[in-house]
Amino acid sequence: MKKSKVLIIHESESTKISLEELGLHLLQDYEFEFSNIIDYLKTNFKIYDFIIFDSYNDYLFESLRERLDRIIVSVNILKEERPSDYIKRGAQNFLLKPYSLKEIRLVLDQLKNNLSIKWEAEDNKLKFYTLLDNIPYMAWFKNQESEYMIVNNEFKEHCGKDFDTIRGKGDQFVWDGMIGENCRQYDLKVMTERKRLVFDEIIPGKKGYKQFNIYKVPVVDRKNNILGTMGIAKDITDLKNKDVKFDILLENMPFAVFTKNRSGDIIQNNSTFHKLTEINRYSYISLKEENFLGEEHRESIEIEDKDVIYNKSSIALVRTLKTKSGEKIVEVFKSPIIDISGEVIGIVCTMRDVTEVKSQEARIKKMAYTDSLTGLANRRGLYDYVENKLVKKYSDATIMFMDLDNFKSLNDSFGHQHGDQILIEFGEELQTICKDGFVSRIGGDEFVIIWEGKMNKEFATEIAEKILNLLNGKKRKFNKLSASIGIVTGNTAEETIDNFLTKGDLALYKAKDQGKNQYVFYNRDLDKKRCLNEEIEQDLRNALDKDEFELYYQPQYTCTKELRGLEALLRWNNDKYRKVPILDIINIMEKSILIDEIGKFILKSAFSFAKKINENRDKKVIVSVNISAVQIMKHSFVRTVKKVIEETGVDPKNIGIEITETVLLKNIEENILKIKELKDIGIKISLDDFGTGYSSFSYLVKIPLSNIKIDKSFIWGMKDSDEYRTLVKLCIDTAHALNLRVVAEGVETEEELGLLRYMKADFIQGYLFSKPLPKNVIEETIL
């Protein structure tokens, strides 16, 4: 610790001798030097922390007036010197003669402490003013009389006065009489009620008329006495101007407009809305769409709103509006209101009176049975065509179901207006390709084409390929899209339109499952699989309650068979589905909401096991859990993992999460952030099935990984292929170059182990060492 330097100014050497004999060297925190008063002009006083005047000299004392807080004056009580004589000249600290070592230390320590407190106070004051002057809002402090005592730069700039002019003045003076009395009333309310107050106020100043959101709070001392008020004012002028502009725009729309929140409450509307619906503006505290369209439409309104919200797409429909003056036919357009985070926060609706336009029955029917965007038949038109054209004739029919892949991404990237134009042009192209068929758009990006009669498979294939080639061809407007197509044939005497739609959907979703951009013909196996999947899904819903799920763990070893990790694998103890691959069961979970509940069960079970087995181990064993794309896409994924960690008490360093490239195919940047957040708390992150995706090496750089797991197909291929051995070696070397560990999966032979040991793989997982085992066997034989 640095010693404080003390200079003792004296008149005679006897003073110096007596003080040295007193033992100043024992005061180890201080370094003492002596100077005769005659030599003061030669002395550099700035290098000393404190000065003791053993002999008083007015001239010298005055020359050191800037350092009076560091000067100690000695008083000879035997000569009845009076401290008051020194105090008048500015002295603050005294030593009494004869000196004592204890008193010298006491005075120096007290002086040092006082200076430390003073410096800290000045430092805090500097920080406070720096903070105050650098916030982008007006800020101030007033005393109990509402007089300004402190203001920041933003405040001074708006009022146009400097602090010396403002200090001690009230609002009437500071704001040139434009505001004042209201401010005083607000201050009194804050001080009297001792609680914060928030309000908006227009304050004219050098920056013009500005509207502020003002936040006032009482200021109290340590004894809870009111000292005054503190205020902060945020400029909301631009925000208010936008609101006013929106209100003006809304009010001047030539048709009825209203906005709804996600709960269906109407929160804003214009005068044309009240004129059209003939609803008194003050008749309802909470107004909903069914209040003026009729309660019989409540269910359909809820369905429409869900469609708009969850598909983030616009819809158009025709409604009958019952008013006091009679029925009106209105066109209703609904579009999602999307905030900057991409979440739908409400719906904007427009209503246009089309009663006159629809006075003719044919016109009304056409609108009812036609998609308003593309001009094609809509779902109702499709049903009408089947019922009136095919069912009555007991006709054979061929139906093609079509869904545009990635259409939502196109809408999100280029806007709904661009997406609508694509749908219009695609509908026109479909009519050209399918000129003998009845073309309809049944919703969103779904199209259905019906041909009367059974079409041979070759001809149906030719048409399907023409449609796919249209999207994959040279027409730039379609080059970001593809389609999944399902094809069904049958007889309308034997099948209802709903049966056709169900079968078509099965074929269509089979095409999607197989990678999209293709067509699939319906067959009975699809129905069998659908029924099996529905049965599995129903039984899965009861599996947790019946305690049918269990985790097995497959060990991961070093090449010298030292246990380093365990991979948790789900097992469903239900003999009914013993032959169904667990991956198929997991796919069914992912397509339902079951993955949330069962996924949480897996996390809890694996994390609890990890805590248990590592409690008394020096070399920790990492227990890893596989995470699906559906799980990580949830906004609450990271929060869920952290909550399970907290509930189980497991150390995050003892658990791992395994992901595949499919996890990253959507929202890659967002998912990487989630993975990084988990790795930052100590969780090991492994990239599973490495080498089987499209761009695995690029992910090694992007993702915050701990390990990669080489897919078993590469390991098995090493036996007969030099190319596979080269690829595996390349994967291991690349991973090591990036400071990643490598786990080789599916190792089953000593030959494979030998090759991997030579290639310096870090960990081995496979039947050569162990198959997946229940936790009790792991505890009894492995650990």
Q: Report the alpha-carbon distance of residue 232 to residue 217 in Å, rounded.
A: 9
Place 25 in a pLDDT band, splitting at 50, 70 and 90.
confident
Is residue 52 left, alpha or beta, with left meaning phi > 0 and alpha meaning psi from -120 to 50?
beta
Residues in the chain: 783
Residue 377 φ then ψ, to 5°? -65, 145
Q: Are 400 and 456 in contact (CB under 8 A)?
A: no
Residues 433-440 have a mean pLDDT of 88
Q: Residue type at 757? A: R
How far is it, in rounded angstroms, from Cα 657 to Cα 641?
Answer: 10
Contact (CB, 8 A) for 572 and 585:
yes
Q: Please state, as a whole number, how many other Cβ atoms lie within 10 Å of the Cβ of residue 161.
A: 21
pLDDT category of residue 192 using cuts at 50, 70 and 90: very high
Among 150-159, 232-241, 442-451, 718-727, the least confident range: 232-241
CA distance 767 to 749: 8
Q: Average pLDDT, whole number, for the chain?
A: 84
Q: Is residue 346 within 8 Å of 337, Cβ to Cβ?
A: yes
Which H or E run contains 563?
Answer: strand 563-572
pLDDT score of 80 more than 60: no
- Check whether 665 has a pLDDT greater than 70: no
Of 700, 709, 772, 776, the closest CA to residue 734 belongs to: 700
pLDDT at 568 over 90: yes
User: For a pLDDT cut of 90, what percent of the chain falls above it?
Assistant: 20
pLDDT above 90 (res 60): no
Inter-residue contact 411 to 480 (CB < 8 Å): no
Banded model confidence at residue 392, pLDDT cuts 50, 70, 90:
low
- What b/e string do you get for 455-478 counting C-beta neighbours within 10 Å, with b at 16 or more? beeeebeebbeebbebbeeeeeeb
- What's the gap between Cα 714 and its chain centre? 37
Q: Is the pLDDT of residue 166 over 80?
A: yes
Distance, CA of 691 to CA of 685 (rounded, Å) = 17
pLDDT category of residue 248 using cuts at 50, 70 and 90: low
More confident residue, 755 or 281: 755
Amino acid 671: pLDDT: 85
Phi and psi of 151, rounded to 5°?
-140, 155
What is the rounded average pLDDT of the residues 588-606?
A: 84
Cα→Cα distances 456→396, 432, 483, 758, Å: 12, 20, 21, 58
pLDDT, tens only, 468-523 = 888 887 666 676 778 888 888 888 777 777 777 888 788 887 888 787 888 888 87
What three-state secondary structure class fits 191? helix
CA separation (Å) from 115 to 92, 405, 560?
Answer: 12, 74, 66
Pairwise pLDDT comparison (122 vs 47), residue with the higher score: 47
Confidence of residue 742 (pLDDT cuts 50, 70, 90): very high
269-to-188, 246, 265, 272, 349 alpha-carbon distances in Å:
39, 11, 11, 8, 9
Q: Which amino acid appears at position 624 of this protein?
A: S
Confidence of residue 361 (pLDDT cuts 50, 70, 90): low
| Spatial separation of the C-alpha atoms in residues 164 and 185, rounded to whole Å | 25
Q: In sequence order, what are the beta bridge partners of 570?
A: 551
Q: From CA 678, how far away is CA 669, in angstroms rounded?
A: 15
* DSSP state for residue 99 in the 8-state scheme: P
Helices assigned H by DSSP within 445-593: 457-472, 497-513, 524-543, 582-591
Cα–Cα distance between 244 and 199 in angstroms, integer? 18
- In the β-sheet with 344-353, what is the strand arrangement from edge to edge? 266-269, 256-261, 344-353, 326-338, 315-323
**Are 23 and 30 spatial neighbours (Cβ–Cβ below 8 Å)?**
no
How far from each other are the two terminal CA atoms of the chain, in whole angstroms?
A: 53
Does 653 have pLDDT greater than 90?
yes
> Chain-centre distance of CA 127, in angstroms?
33
Closest C-alpha to 686, from 671, 702, 703: 703
Lookup: tokens for 658: 């395994």
* Of residues 311, 309, 305, 307, the one with CA closest to residue 293: 305
The alpha carbon of residue 265 and the mean position of all alpha carbons in its chain are separated, in whole angstroms, by 27
pLDDT of 469: 87
- pLDDT higher than threshold 80 for residue 430: yes
Unique residue bearing structure tokens 């195919």: 665
pLDDT band at 123 (very low <50, low <70, confident <90, very high): confident
Instruction: Give residue 193's pLDDT.
Output: 92
Check whether 464 has a pLDDT greater than 90: no
Residue 384, H or E segment: helix 379-385
pLDDT digits (tens, 9 = 90+) for 281-330: 666 667 888 888 888 888 888 888 899 989 888 898 888 888 888 888 88
The answer to whether the Cα torsion of 455, 457, 462, 466 is positive or negative is positive
C-alpha 408/C-alpha 31 separation (Å) is 78
Q: Which secondary-structure segment (H or E) carries 749?
A: none
What value, to the nearest 5°, has the Cα angle with vertex 446 and ends 444 and 447? 130
**Closest by Cα among 397, 262, 383, 391 to 334:** 262
Distances (CA, A) of 575 to 531, 534, 539, 580, 658: 18, 17, 12, 10, 28
With tokens 């992150």, the residue in question is 685
Question: What pLDDT was estimated at residue 648?
Answer: 94
Task: Give the SS3 label for residue 546.
Answer: coil
d(CA 160, CA 324): 59
Partnered with residue 228 across adjacent β-strands are 143, 219
User: Which position has the higher pLDDT, 537 or 625?
Assistant: 625
Sheet of 4-10, strand order: 30-36, 4-10, 50-53, 71-76, 93-97
**Is residue 478 within 8 Å of residue 426, measured between CB atoms?**
yes
- Please tell me the pTM assigned to this model: 0.45
pLDDT at 495: 75
Q: How many CB atoms lie within 10 A of CB 562?
A: 9
Segments of 256-343 assigned E as strands: 256-261, 266-269, 315-323, 326-338
Count CB atoms within 10 A of the CB of residue 686: 26
Residue written as tokens 């720096």?
A: 130
Judge whether residue 379 has pLDDT over 70: yes
Burial class (CB in 10 A: 0-12, 13-18, 19+), 542: exposed
**At residue 435, what are phi and psi to the nearest 5 degrees?**
-65, -25
Contact status, residue 8 vs residue 16, Cβ threshold 8 Å: yes
Beta bridge partners of 200: 213
Calculate mean pLDDT across residues 246-253. 69
- pLDDT 10s digits, 605-625: 999 999 999 998 889 999 999
Using DSSP, state whether 63 is helix, strand or coil.
Answer: helix
Q: In this structure, are residues 602 and 568 in contact, taking their beta carbons and an 8 Å threshold?
A: yes
- Whether 78 shows a pLDDT value over 60: the answer reads no
**pLDDT confidence tier of residue 408, bands split at 50, 70 and 90:** confident
